[in-house]
A and B are shown apart, each in its own frame.
Chain A
Amino acid sequence: MAGYALRRVATTIPVLFAILTLVFLMRPLVPGDPVAIMFFGRSSSPEVVANMRHQLGLDDPLPIQYVRYLGDVLRGDLGTSITTRQPVVQEIAERFPATLQLALGSLAVSCLVGLVAGILAAVYKDTAIDTAAMVFAMAGLSMPGFWFGLVMIYFFSVRLGWFSVIPDGSLKSLVLPALTLGLIASSVVARLVRSAMLEVLGQDFIRTARAKGLRERRVLLRHALGNAMIPVVTIIGLQFGGLLSGAFIIEAVFAWHGIGELAVDALGKRDFPLIQGIVLVIATSYVLVNLLVDLLYAVLDPRITYS
């Protein structure tokens, strides 16, 4: 197991390196001079542009910039935002807790609703309950997130006045965005749980368990669900990675000040060190979450051993 884990960790290193290189290349590969683009329509003084280029080290040859970039990133320095002139690391660190909070909240909703709906649909296959759960899942998959978010705001905040539109940092203001994201994500989980459960429920050991006289609840939750969890955990892991990268649209709709909103803002302002920093952090956290999920398999399923 330890050997596998080490090997698995080792394989992420070239991936991370590739991410670094691609993120670095983002800037030279985009057409036009980034500083000129940034100041376009705001101030055209060539002196200011030249000064800014110099401050950002853009007048050096590309290989030198690359080596410097790698060195900076390894030391934990992602550069300085052009617009705010704050360290990119600090900008991201200020926003990350909000994204993490929303990701965890949404994940909780997604798991809870997805599991319950999926299990019910599988157990009551081909009944009204199954149909209802799957229609719900289909609706969740098809609904545009920003529209659903605005409907939630309109209904629960403007009409009913249960929640404030502007988040105040309390747990209560997490409810609507987490519900919006979580319900949408839960539709994938529900469909997956249903099909995985159906497959497991048809197997011999379930019949054996029932024949032994185990209570149905125990059969379902321990024997069936336990075995159906492997693909579900994979998807949940991927979802969590996605949620951690900030739900760009949902964060903007709910004025949730996380990574996604920061990214939208940085893109609008064409603040490329900040954009590069965000892409790097998002890609890296995705890789790490995937790594974690892979390692979790062994813990979850005693049949899987790595040697």
Chain B
Amino acid sequence: MTSLRLFRSFVLIVSIALLIGTPAILVSAAPHTGRLQEAGEPTPGGTLRMAISEEPDQLDPARTIELLAGQLMGNVLDALVYIGDDGLPHGWVAESWQIAPDGKVITFKIRPGIKFHDGTPLDAAAVKFGYDRILDPAMAAPYKEFLGTLQKVDAPDPATVAFTFSEPYAAFFVNGATIGIVSPAGVAQFGDDFGHNPIGSGPFKFREWQAGSKIVFERNPDYVNFREDDTNKGPAYVEALEYNVIPEAATQTAAFEAGELDLLDVPREDLARLSEDPDVEIVTLEKSNNLNFIEFANRPPFNNPSFRKAVSYSIDRQAIIDLAYVGNATVNQCPVPINNAAYDEALCAEHGYTFDQEKAKQMLAEAGWTDGDGNGIVEMEGKDLQVTLWSYAPYPTQSKTIEIMQADLNEVGIGTDIQVIEFGAMQPMLESGEIGFDYMRWTFSDQSILTQLFKTPGWTKQTSDPALDALLVKADTTVDPVARLEASRAAMVYVLDNAMIAPVISDWIQTATGQQVHNYHWDALVNERLNDVWLTS
């Protein structure tokens, strides 16, 4: 279930919407609080009715990068591996793999006998076909950069597929090997229209797409589930999945309350009311892959580490959670989301910045800002420190948050105005450094979020730090999971010590389910596992 007006996909994203549920990544431990082990015998049948805020662009991994498209494709397409609750890859379509000693070749063994919905075999050639499409420059696949240093894919025999990299690419398992595998015959049949007629080997088959209105999938009766993190190893229980396009969040809630939807991405303002409804259960994922943070431009005073530390010290994160997020978020001092493998509460507490107004003032004083004229605003060489904090519309929670931050910053003597603009309009302003600092939100699962954010020139083209780049390259090219984690944490510590961003909170992912819905849960990458869901009347 996902919502809101902008985009979504498996992986990376600036998640513009505030109520999300989705994408990919490395999780440290059992993340979900869904009704996993539930009493009662699963009963087959019924249609699971859900709402989406907009249509996905295309259900084709070579054509989309939306979180929403990734979520819907997950019903139809299976992948080589899935990421388990231990944060490690586990076999799915692939039954095993080997990594060459130099880390530059990963060879997967494909399980025999898997068939696509159109009856054609899912073999090594089909796997190669899918990755070649994304690599093909003519496709201009937006997802291509997440294949990293992948050079070529070979299928020497029907059960073997080998991925060759120019440099070892540690994020491949999370970012690359979880991409859905499409039917080559289906692509040949539908051509450019494949994204509206996806064919894979997953638990649900695509049935129909009514333009602008709804997308329907039906149960794949022949499905065999090789995933160990799902309880249901056979075909899905529900007969069909129905995604209704309902742009307005309040209308989604109304449809849920009128019994026309089984699941609902709960708007924050409806959360309190719905949690009191005995017929509704709110399933919450607190260890989310969301990260809300303040980022800075590479110009004075924002490029001064003391200024950034002062900002980080001055923010009352708990007040933001209580007032803007109505309690539905967790304080996060790490520059990665809470479900990220690299997340380490103790380490980040040691290197991070908790709410401490005295320390904030001290940081400002050390850098030469003091309030000499007693107007409450610190100054340097007679000039008041006056800055503007930005965020983007139209998200009331974001707006409330920067209002609280404004008060916090003024409190320690940083004269702050706030400004909210449209997201698209931010792009040139962020990249030119016109926006000095802003409150941003990313949804991303892999440790490589650090690379996405900070590797020169940085996602806003405001970062250039060779020392950090070296740490990030080490993390990105270390294929061994444990060594990689250490390397990522080293980079994380560097980011914190230099206060390159001010991490603020990770907001939770919350779905309301009707009493008829059982066993709704997410996997470690925050993908919904709908073949486990069953309905009672």
Known: A166-B244, A255-B248, A265-B247. A52 touches B140 (CB 8 A): yes
A36 and B427: CB pair below 8 A?
yes
Query: What are the residues of chain B within 8 A of A262 when measuring CB–CB?
Result: 212
CA distance A264 to B248 in the complex (A): 11
B169 contacts A by Cβ under 8 Å: no
Q: B184-219 interface mask toward A, CB cutoff 8 Å, 1 = contact, 0 = none?
A: 000000001001100000000000000111000000
Q: Please determine whether B54 and A85 come into contact, CB atoms closer than 8 angstroms.
A: no
Given contacts A43-B143, A44-B145, contact A165 B428 (CB under 8 A): no
Which residue of B5, B140, B195 has the most chain A CB atoms within 10 A of its CB atom?
A: B140
Tell which of B7, B58, B245 touches A255, judged by Cβ atoms closer than 8 Å. B245
Contact B65 A42 (CB under 8 A): yes
Return chain B residues, CB-CB under 8 Å to A55.
140
Contacts of B195 in A (CB 8 A): 84-85
Q: Nearest residue in A to B67 (C-beta to C-beta)?
A: A42
Is A158 part of the contact surface with B, judged by Cβ < 8 Å? Answer: yes
CB-CB < 8 A to A148: which residues of B? none
Selected interface stretch from A136-144, A149-157, A228-236, A237-245: A149-157
Cβ-defined contact, B260 with A165, below 8 A: yes
Chain A residues whose CB sits within 8 angstroms of the CB of B142 once the complex forms:
39, 42-43, 45, 48
- Judged by a CB distance under 8 angstroms, whether B374 is at the interface is no
| Shortest Cβ gap from A156 to chain B (Å) | 10
- Whether the Cβ atoms of A95 and B255 lie closer than 8 Å is no
- Cβ–Cβ contact B254 & A95, under 8 A: no
Contact A94 B137 (CB under 8 A): no
Cβ contacts under 8 Å, A37 to chain B: 424, 427-428
Tell whether, in the assembled complex, residue B258 and residue A265 are in contact, meaning their CB atoms are under 8 Å apart: no
Interface of chain B, helix or strand or loop or mixed?
A: loop
A257 to B251, CA, bound (A): 14
Q: Which of B10-18, B77-85, B318-326, B501-509 contacts A (4 or more CB under 8 A)?
A: B10-18
CA distance A47 to B134 in the complex (A): 13
Q: Pick the contact of A42 from B9, B140, B141, B251 — CB < 8 Å?
A: B9
Chain A residues closer than 8 Å to B459, beta-carbon distance: 41, 44
B254 surroundings in chain A (CB, below 8 A): 150, 153-154, 157-158, 165
A150 near B250 with CB under 8 A, answer: yes
For B104, the chain A residues whose CB sits under 8 A away are none
B427–A40 touching, CB < 8 Å: yes
Given contacts A84-B58, A157-B258, A264-B247, contact A47 B427 (CB under 8 A): no
A10 CB to closest chain B CB (Å) equals 37
Is there an interface contact between B143 and A265, defined as CB atoms closer than 8 Å?
A: no
- Contact check, A268 vs B251: say whether CB atoms are below 8 A apart: no
Count CB-based A-B contacts (< 8 Å). Answer: 137
Chain A interface size, under 10 / 10 to 19 / 20 to 34 / 35 or more = 35 or more
Q: Are B248 and A269 in contact (CB under 8 A)?
A: no
Which residue of chain B lies nearest to A55 when distances are taken between CB atoms in the complex? B140
With both chains docked as a complex, state the minimum distance between the C-beta of B6 and any C-beta of chain A, in angstroms. Answer: 5
B417-428 vs A, CB cutoff 8 Å, 1 = contact: the mask equals 000000111111
Q: Is A83 an interface residue (CB 8 A)?
A: yes
**A-contacting residues, B1-45, CB 8 Å:** 5-7, 9, 12-14, 16
Which residues of A in the span 38-60 have a Cβ within 8 Å of any Cβ on B? Answer: 38-45, 47-48, 51-52, 55
Of residues 251 to 288 in A, which have CB atoms within 8 Å of B's CB atoms? Answer: 252-255, 257, 261-262, 264-265, 268-270
Decide if B212 touches A40 in the complex (CB within 8 Å): no
Establish whether residues B211 and A255, one from each chain, have CB atoms under 8 Å apart when the complex forms.
Answer: no
Q: How distant is B194 from chain A, measured CB to nearest CB, in Å? A: 10
**Are the CB atoms of B427 and A269 closer together than 8 Å?**
no
Q: Are A42 and B14 in contact (CB under 8 A)?
A: yes
Which residues on A sit within 8 Å (CB–CB) of B13? 41-42
Q: Across the two chains, which residue of chain A brings its CB closest to B142?
A: A43
B247 touches A48 (CB 8 A): no
Pairwise interchain contact A164-B258, C-beta atoms closer than 8 A: yes
Q: Pick from B16, B54, B248 the residue with the most CB of A within 10 Å.
A: B248
A residues 1-57 touching B (CB-CB < 8 Å): 31-32, 36-45, 47-48, 51-52, 55
Contact between B427 and A165, CB atoms less than 8 A apart: no
Q: Is the CB–CB distance between B428 and A41 below 8 Å?
A: no
Residue A161 CB within 8 A of the other chain: yes
The minimal Cβ–Cβ distance linking B522 to chain A, given in whole angstroms, is 22
Q: Which residues of A contact B57 (CB under 8 A)?
A: 83-84, 269
Report if A31-B425 is in contact (Cβ < 8 Å); known contacts: A164-B258, A165-B254: yes
B90 close to chain A: CB less than 8 A? no
Report the Cα distance A169→B245, complex, angstroms: 13
Indicate if the CB atoms of B137 and A51 lie closer than 8 Å: yes
Complex: A157 Cα to B55 Cα, angstroms: 24
Q: Say yes or no: A161 contacts B58, CB within 8 Å.
A: no
> Any chain A CB within 8 A of the CB of B524?
no
Chain A 80-100 residues near chain B, CB threshold 8 A: 83-86, 91, 94-95, 98
Query: Do A165 and B144 touch across chains, with their CB atoms under 8 A apart?
Result: no
Q: Is the CB of B212 within 8 A of A47?
A: no
Give the top 6 A-B pairs by smallest Cβ distance, nearest first. Answer: A41-B14, A257-B212, A51-B140, A83-B57, A165-B255, A32-B428
In the complex, besides A45-B142, A48-B144, A51-B138, 17 extra interface pairs with C-beta distance below 8 angstroms are A37-B427, A40-B424, A41-B14, A41-B459, A42-B65, A84-B57, A84-B196, A157-B254, A157-B258, A166-B255, A252-B248, A253-B248, A253-B250, A255-B244, A255-B245, A257-B212, A265-B5
16 A-B pairs whose Cβ atoms sit less than 8 Å apart in the complex? A31-B428, A36-B427, A40-B424, A45-B142, A51-B140, A153-B251, A157-B254, A165-B251, A165-B260, A166-B255, A167-B213, A252-B251, A257-B245, A268-B6, A268-B54, A269-B6
